[in-house]
A and B are shown apart, each in its own frame.
Chain A
């Protein structure tokens, strides 16, 4: 036992889907279990923080951390995992690019708290109670809770990251390949995203049906149309992020009759996935005047939510940079 390399999993601001993806290894998980000691996995095993703290530095071969970093606790744990691990892998779209939690970067923390704890229609909170980081319980103890940060971050904005496994969640194949690479020491250069460095269209079965002269007369959202199951989704006027998104998922969404929403992030040659897909799509809007163009792009009512669905924290701007003065 003691000779087996140690692996740790940790979750931060995430939905649990990444944990599922580990289970999705199916029988391959036996291979993983045979070859490594899992020393931390909050969702599956009862190891505690102090167990990890007790380990010597760099004694863990690899820590796979999923979720964005949003609280002081997540940040603290990220640092701890970094300290104890030789290799840190940002696991999944949230750790990689910010993911869905990073959509919160469109708002101020106060705005979010006010909505969640006071203003949302389903909330009943006359005392306007807010979560506190510190309080006195009936036994006189003073438990402390993590602080919510103003900014949702990608893992590499907090700690040094060696590799990235993209996707919401990463495909089991990519995970398996990554584990094998780690165990055999056959690793790519630091900073590599462990997925093919080519856009999704490469593996999308609808690629054939995309015309070479596609222009957009209107944009539609998936709920507004009966989606043709064969035809390129862009050719149906739907915003598909496939051309600007890394392959590696096996075109799960487009095969499932939904447009790609970009969870695998951009290729290595792109710094800002949202800007790039926007540039590509907008170039083909069928209009030559502001008026004609605006009429068509009105079909994209939420461009930030559309083009930065998984990537806002990791985008160039990272976050809404200025907020209107509150009255």
Chain B
């Protein structure tokens, strides 16, 4: 799966926030059980899914994550009684914001994975990777760069004393 790069040679990369007690332990269990799965994710350990600040998710997307996965304990099982409910509430509202800002729903996922569910880690990761591979890279750093390319034109036109360049380039930008 890893070798199937998208056209531009981009590796799908998912940032995963796993709670210490359930999902991180499940990912360890997957390891101990040698359950193979896609390597396209990088885990950041937090004590509880309730620690996941929506800012982290935006930050990850803006720095180039193609997906963000949050893993917490099943409802009723939170090590901290109800941190996972707080995570769920934020997630329900936050995913609307993320969708409204043009990021596909499949790129942001919340999963309850208990310490015993090593195989669920595999299922969720593989599923998420394959869905995101279909969507292609999000690659916001490149997007920001291309957005800001419209500003580089100014210097060029100042140099060449003509607005013509801007107009031509704008056509390219707005239609291409």
Chain A residues with CB under 8 Å of chain B are 72, 75-76, 79, 106, 109-110, 133-134, 144, 147, 149-151, 157-158, 270-272, 274-276, 278-279, 281-285, 287-290, 293-294, 297, 300, 303-304, 307, 315-323
Pick from B32-40, B122-130, B137-145 the stretch touching chain A. Answer: B137-145
Residue in A closest to B86 when the chains form the complex, CB atoms:
A283
Say if the beta carbon of B29 comes within 8 Å of chain A: no
Bound CA span A307–B93, Å: 11
Residues in A whose Cβ lies below 8 Å from that of B92: 282, 285, 290, 293-294, 297
Bound CA span A294–B85, Å: 13
Which residues 19-53 of B sit at the A interface, judged by CB distance below 8 A? 50, 53
How many A-B pairs have beta carbons closer than 8 Å: the answer is 134
Q: Is the CB–CB distance between A79 and B154 below 8 Å?
A: yes
Chain B residues with CB under 8 Å of chain A are 50, 53-55, 57-59, 61-62, 75, 85-86, 88-90, 92-94, 96-97, 100-104, 138, 140, 143-144, 147-148, 150-151, 153-154, 158, 163-164, 166-167, 170, 173-174
Shortest distance from the beta carbon of A143 to any chain B beta carbon, whole Å: 11
Q: Is the CB–CB distance between A321 and B101 below 8 Å?
A: yes
Residues in B whose Cβ lies below 8 Å from that of A282: 86, 89-90, 92-94
Most chain A CB inside 10 Å of its own CB: which residue of B50, B140, B158: B140
Residue in B closest to A284 when the chains form the complex, CB atoms:
B89
Q: Is the CB–CB distance between B174 and A110 below 8 Å?
A: yes
A-B contact pairs, 8 of them (CB 8 A): A76-B154, A133-B163, A133-B170, A272-B58, A283-B89, A297-B93, A303-B96, A317-B62
Residues in A whose Cβ lies below 8 Å from that of B57: 275
Residues in B whose Cβ lies below 8 Å from that of A321: 101-103, 138, 140, 143
Selected contact of A287 from candidates B59, B89, B150, B166, CB within 8 Å: B89
Selected contact of A150 from candidates B100, B103, B144, B147, CB within 8 Å: B147
Q: Is the CB–CB distance between B90 and A278 below 8 Å?
A: yes
Q: Is the CB–CB distance between B167 and A271 below 8 Å?
A: no
Residues in A whose Cβ lies below 8 Å from that of B154: 72, 75-76, 79
Shortest distance from the beta carbon of B94 to any chain A beta carbon, whole Å: 6
Q: Is the CB–CB distance between B90 and A288 below 8 Å?
A: no
Q: Is the CB–CB distance between A290 and B88 below 8 Å?
A: yes
Bound CA span A323–B158, Å: 31
Shortest distance from the beta carbon of B146 to any chain A beta carbon, whole Å: 10
Residues in B whose Cβ lies below 8 Å from that of A75: 151, 154
Bound CA span A320–B102, Å: 5
Residues in A whose Cβ lies below 8 Å from that of B140: 317, 321
Q: Is the CB–CB distance between A278 and B54 below 8 Å?
A: yes
Residues in A whose Cβ lies below 8 Å from that of B167: 133-134, 147
Q: Is the CB–CB distance between B55 and A276 below 8 Å?
A: yes
Bound CA span A158–B93, Å: 32
Q: Is the CB–CB distance between A316 and B97 below 8 Å?
A: no
Q: Is the CB–CB distance between B104 and A322 below 8 Å?
A: yes
The 3 closest A-B CB pairs, nearest first, are: A322-B102, A275-B54, A316-B58
Selected contact of A278 from candidates B86, B93, B148, CB within 8 Å: B93
Q: Is the CB–CB distance between A150 and B90 below 8 Å?
A: no
Bound CA span A172–B24, Å: 52
Bound CA span A283–B52, Å: 11
Q: Given A272-B59, A319-B101, 10 other A-B contacts at CB below 8 A?
A: A72-B166, A110-B174, A133-B166, A144-B163, A271-B59, A275-B54, A287-B89, A317-B103, A318-B147, A323-B102
Bound CA span A293–B88, Å: 9
Selected contact of B101 from candidates A133, A158, A290, A304, CB within 8 Å: A304
Given contacts A147-B167, A278-B90, A300-B93, contact A106 B100 (CB under 8 A): yes
Residues in B whose Cβ lies below 8 Å from that of A109: 174
Q: Is the CB–CB distance between A274 and B97 below 8 Å?
A: yes
Residues in A whose Cβ lies below 8 Å from that of B61: 316-317
Bound CA span A293–B55, Å: 21
Shortest distance from the beta carbon of B145 to any chain A beta carbon, whole Å: 12
Q: Is the CB–CB distance between B93 and A147 below 8 Å?
A: no
